[in-house]
Amino acid sequence: MSPVFLLLILVCSFWTQTCPSKVSRKCLLAWRTLSVKIHPVPWIVLSNANNYSSVPNICDRFEPTSQNCCAIDPTHIAVGNDHLELEQLRVQWLGPLATTLLNHAIYLQNYFVECLNLTLTALDVSFQSSYGYNYQHNKEFFVQFFGDLESYMLGHRQNISEMVDDFFNELLKRIVRLLLFAKSRQDLIVADCISSQLQRRNPFDRIPEGIKRMALRAFPPARITANALFIGSEVISSLLKEVYLTNSCHINWMKLRYCNFCFGEAESFICEDTCRKKMALCMTDYYSLDEPWTQFIDHLLELIDRLRGSDSFPQVNRPLQIHITDAIMSFQRLFSRINPVLLKNCSRQDKNPTAIRLRPKRHLFPSSGPGVFASIPETVDYFRSLPSLENQTRLMRVEYLSARSLFANLDRWFCSPHLLRYSKIPRKSTHMCWNGKRMSSARYMIRGKISNSGDEVDFLVDDDPFIF
């Protein structure tokens, strides 16, 4: 059975037998209007007017009358709350936002991973061409570094500054071992000793510090943005699952929306003032979230702005392989001027001097050519196929600006012109409207406190208040 049927079961079963009374004609008109505008109701039980007046129903609960078109037991309102109209509206109000937050978080994480993969691809192609076997022998080291960066962006690792330090410390060891052709245990001891001594002389110039500085400005804000979107989605999803509306809210919503049909007022508008007042009283828990939610959105917008510009993640990640290349070239220049005394001092740590004399003389560079590490040719623009994050962040900013007043303006959702059956809501009007009990005129706006915190909101009242 569709939600519409369940909705109608909760309100009215109309009398369709023709009779000369004015009440009968109004009821017939109301039933026909409801059937045409919402859905045919084939489960209606035909009876006569006298039978209806003897059955309690949600529409005459506070004001019994024999001139009533409906006869539904109010206890039925507690059955199948998931299918009630107010609950459906609540899900439609919060559900899309939870989905949007989640989708944006996943999009950003996928974007970060794709950016890092493209940077690694550019480095791999360039180093394959320039360093050949020497790179192949150490390829897993570079792959591991970018894997660590990916883990950081996904929230699985911490301290990116330490990650960069560890990378360049290990890079220094590997380059020295290559330059000294270190393979045996004794060779590795000497090479590592030299690496330790060179570590104090800024072997990569200031490039590692520059990479750390740029990474700290770009990587954490980008990761925090994705995490904030995930948290926002979880918060909204928790509200959907854990903050329920009371049965009285559902009952009085049905009175406001459909009891006019029970009284034969088929074409009546719903009083906006009454609707806003009832939402203010029924949605107190949601209104109390306005301030923290607004602060969350403001901080989120600041983070989104940091995904653009020269210090953004894409701009810092894209030339990362170039900075690594520059660091290697800088070390090559330093190593070409290394003091032979340093090599001699580290060689003394070898406990087998005979083996030192028997080993062939090692050269820092081949007898011809530019050296073990050559300059890197310009790489292809691998990022051309990647969508622009600028456009995505603009769309995100517009979306979350509109959601900033999600809780402060919730009455705009639940008391929309469509739900009130208005084509245009007149703010100052004396038109007649349905207030949940009877036809009345729209009233005026006052300020009132609707929560224990004392927060004030605007809501409208009439001269015949109808409290939950």
The string of pLDDT tens digits covering residues 115-151 is 999 999 999 998 988 888 889 989 999 999 999 999 9
Tokens of 427: 């703010």
Please say whether the dihedral angle defined by the alpha carbons of residues 391, 396, 402 and 405, taken in this order, is positive or negative: negative
Shared domain check, 183 and 111? yes
Same domain, yes or no, for 99 and 223? yes
Domain edge (last residue) among 81, 110, 141: 81
Contact between 112 and 156 under an 8 Å Cβ cutoff? The reply is no
Question: Model's pTM, two decimal places?
Answer: 0.74
Instruction: Name the domain boundary from 33, 48, 81.
Output: 81
What is each CA distance from 329 to 69, 181, 325, 382, 467, in whole angstroms? 89, 18, 6, 23, 78
Is 64 found in the same domain as 106?
no
Same domain, 44 and 155: no
Sort strands 439-441 and 444-449 into parallel, antiparallel or unpaired.
unpaired
Residue 84, helix vs strand vs coil: coil
Query: Which residue range(s) make up the domain with 30?
Result: 1-81
pLDDT above 70: residue 429? no
- Name which of 70-74, 217-221, 327-331, 378-382 the model is least confident about: 70-74
4 lies in some domain: yes
Percent pLDDT > 70 in the chain is 66
**Is the pLDDT confidence value at 301 over 90?**
yes
* 180 and 130 co-located in one domain: yes
Please indicate whether residue 32 or residue 207 has the higher confidence score (pLDDT): 207
Q: Could you give the count of Cα atoms lying within 13 Å of 435 in the half-sphere of its Cβ?
A: 21
Cα distance between residue 57 and residue 48, in whole Å:
16
Residue 420: partners with Cβ closer than 8 Å, 6 or more residues away:
269, 270, 271, 272, 275
- 41 with 114, same domain? no
Domain count, the chain: 2
In this structure, are 211 and 342 located in the same domain?
Answer: yes
Work out the average pLDDT over 65-93: 60
Q: Is the domain of 76 the same as that of 96?
A: no
Q: What is the pLDDT of residue 397?
A: 95
User: Do residue 63 and residue 111 come from a single domain?
Assistant: no
Which of 402, 424, 457 is where one domain is finished? 402
